[in-house]
């Protein structure tokens, strides 16, 4: 009985999977498999998996709460110098590691694996990377975590010295699109009124009290990307865009270590020209305002 994880990440536009290379005593030829291993007597499989990922890759993994079950009967399997009639029950979970995790490295001495690495999924599926059957089975069955998020955003504009400006926040390295600018706002908590959520988010991201006005429109986006946790998600965002007014004062980010690392009044002309990189949400909201 063993527990394994499909751990994916996105880098440079390609999806990679964390794999462990089996030791020569397990496989004489190069063979990669999912990180994980045996469940000790009385041990929770998820705890076993977290332990094994740390031993085999030196990484601290988070594990989902559901697993797929794979069964493999291997009548003539070499193990410690002899052939055994092996039957493996494999519980395969979804796992993920933080985006700023170090490069994987094996910590366990004289274990069943000798190397850990991120390998392109395309190379695994094409056969360029030799893998055990459970890797291909798990990848074929794996579905990215689906997340739908309802969020409220504020379109705040002003005219200063003859220049039309819009209040924008910059996404931090922990966000899905780091370095790009968007409208202030964020997720609506369960049971929270969108206007209340928006006023709260604007104060956290801009340090200014916010008066929420009329709903201007609804924008949505759908993409696959890495969440701040490191989990690869099939993400659908539904965005409620409100007109809003903020109190006088210089905006500054209040929330620390969040998905916003800067806030500023940005000339609308710089958004239109592309000099300031923004999310489509900003273009959509400004278009609604002009209409």
Give me the pLDDT at residue 79, please: 75
Give me the pLDDT at residue 91, please: 97
Give me the domains of the chain, ranges plus CATH numbers. Answer: 2-141 (3.90.79.10), 145-290 (3.90.79.10)
**Neighbouring-strand partners of residue 279:** none
Contacts of 93 (CB under 8 A, 6+ apart): 3, 4, 5, 6, 45, 46, 49, 63, 64, 66, 67
Give me the pLDDT at residue 291, please: 66
pTM: 0.78
pLDDT in tens, the chain (291 residues): 999 999 999 988 899 999 999 999 888 899 999 999 999 999 999 999 999 999 999 999 999 999 999 998 989 887 777 889 989 899 999 999 998 899 999 999 999 999 999 999 999 999 999 999 999 999 999 988 999 999 999 999 999 999 999 999 999 987 778 899 999 999 999 999 999 999 999 999 999 999 999 999 999 999 888 888 899 999 999 999 999 999 999 999 998 888 899 999 999 999 999 999 999 999 999 998 776
Contacts of 137 (CB under 8 A, 6+ apart): 70
Give me the pLDDT at residue 279, please: 95
Q: How many CA atoms lie within 13 A of 109 on its CB side?
A: 0
Cβ–Cβ contacts within 10 Å for residue 96, how many?
24
Instruction: Give the SS3 label for residue 134.
Output: helix
Whole-Å CA distances, 137 to 32, 70, 120: 14, 9, 16
Nearest CA among 36, 30, 9 for reference residue 120: 9
């Amino acid at each position: 009985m063993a527990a394994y994880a499909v751990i994916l990440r996105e880098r440079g536009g390609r999806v990679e999977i964390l794999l462990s290379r089996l030791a020569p005593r397990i496989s004489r030829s190069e063979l990669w498999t999912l990180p994980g291993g045996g469940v000790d007597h009385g041990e929770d499989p998820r705890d076993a998996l977290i332990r094994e990922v740390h031993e085999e890759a030196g990484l601290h993994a988070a594990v989902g709460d559901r697993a797929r079950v794979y069964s493999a009967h291997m009548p003539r399997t070499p193990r410690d110098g002899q052939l055994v009639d092996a039957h493996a029950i494999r519980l395969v979970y979804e796992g993920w590691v933080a985006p700023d995790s170090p490069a994987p490295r094996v910590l366990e001495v004289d274990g069943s694996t000798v190397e850990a690495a991120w390998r392109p999924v395309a190379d695994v599926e094409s056969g360029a990377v030799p893998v055990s059957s459970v890797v291909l089975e798990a990848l074929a069955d794996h579905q990215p975590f689906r997340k739908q998020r309802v969020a409220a955003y504020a379109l705040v504009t002003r005219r200063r010295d003859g220049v039309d400006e819009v209040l924008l926040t910059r996404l931090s390295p922990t966000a899905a699109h780091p370095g790009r600018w968007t409208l202030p706002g964020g997720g609506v908590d369960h049971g929270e009124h969108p206007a209340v959520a928006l006023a709260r988010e604007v104060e956290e991201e801009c340090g200014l009290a916010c008066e929420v006005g009329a709903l201007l429109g609804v924008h949505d986006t759908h993409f696959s990307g890495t969440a701040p946790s490191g989990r690869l998600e099939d993400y659908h965002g539904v965005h409620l865009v409100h007109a809003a007014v903020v109190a006088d004062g210089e905006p500054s980010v209040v929330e620390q270590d969040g998905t916003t690392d800067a806030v500023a009044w940005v000339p609308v002309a710089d958004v239109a020209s592309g000099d300031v990189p923004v999310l489509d949400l900003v273009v959509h909201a400004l278009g609604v305002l002009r209409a």
